[in-house]
Chains A and B, each alone.
Chain A
């Protein structure tokens, strides 16, 4: 029988990957990082926001893209859940609706990597014409 993992094993693992973590933390100024907020209220959770969030964390980590994935409340687009807000430093934040795993991959491949917006944006970040 294999041994069940415990907090003591976590300590060992942490010491092993310590150097790697330090390197990441040095550049950890949230304002310089890509930020993704996943809407995680009742409406989001019921539509699968948890799977979307897990997928984003794993896929961004897998591809080596430095990004902060966090949770946020209901943005009011319950009809389009799961919704995410994507904030790339120096750009206007963009909100995407109906973000399942397929959409999430498209957003990573096109918007985050190539800076090309993809379909599914909820138009809220418009500016008034007289501004």
Chain B
């Protein structure tokens, strides 16, 4: 995948499929430490030790429609190619915490890409999982919380005319203010 936003969309869908009620996505740009850190935290059912050892295996998946599961292996590959690493911690009943570290100045670090589009797709998930997104850089922080957006909309659809475009622009403008790297 060519954009980090696509990886985030892919991995956060795992949390939604696991029926987590909340997914917290954090991106921290740390040019000083030469790190670009993506964390995805959920409060889903978590995984036992045995499952956890197998999530990095491309031939392991919980799906029955196919026999390969490439989401995490691809994300790990991209992180490692950019001089970083990927770690997953999980405990049954406590949720899952995924952390992907990329080299900030590494030429092979993919661009973040269309994060606004990713957030809107994640927000309209069928399990009513709430999405919290935090983006932190030395220039400032931005936080997006699907609960706040839903409160303002009072039941109106996110895909209503005008509203969708407004949300996309709102997220993009706020990110442009603080992003150091694209």
Q: Which residues of A contact B (CB under 8 A)?
A: 4-7, 9-11, 13-14, 17-18, 20-21, 24-25, 40-43, 45-46, 50, 53-54, 57, 61, 69-71, 73-76, 78
Contacts and interface: CB of A to CB of B under 8 A. Distances in A.
Nearest to B122: A71
A41 B163 contact: no
A46 B12 CA distance: 15
B160 interface: yes
Q: Describe B's contact surface by its main secondary structure.
A: helix
A9 B167 CA distance: 10
Nearest to A22: B156
B149 A4 contact: no
B170 A9 contact: yes
Interface string B138-157: 00000000001100111011
Interface in B54-99: 63, 65-66, 69-71, 74
B128 to A, nearest CB: 13
B124 interface: yes
B10 A14 contact: no
B51 interface: no
B121 interface: yes
Contacts of B10: 41-42, 45
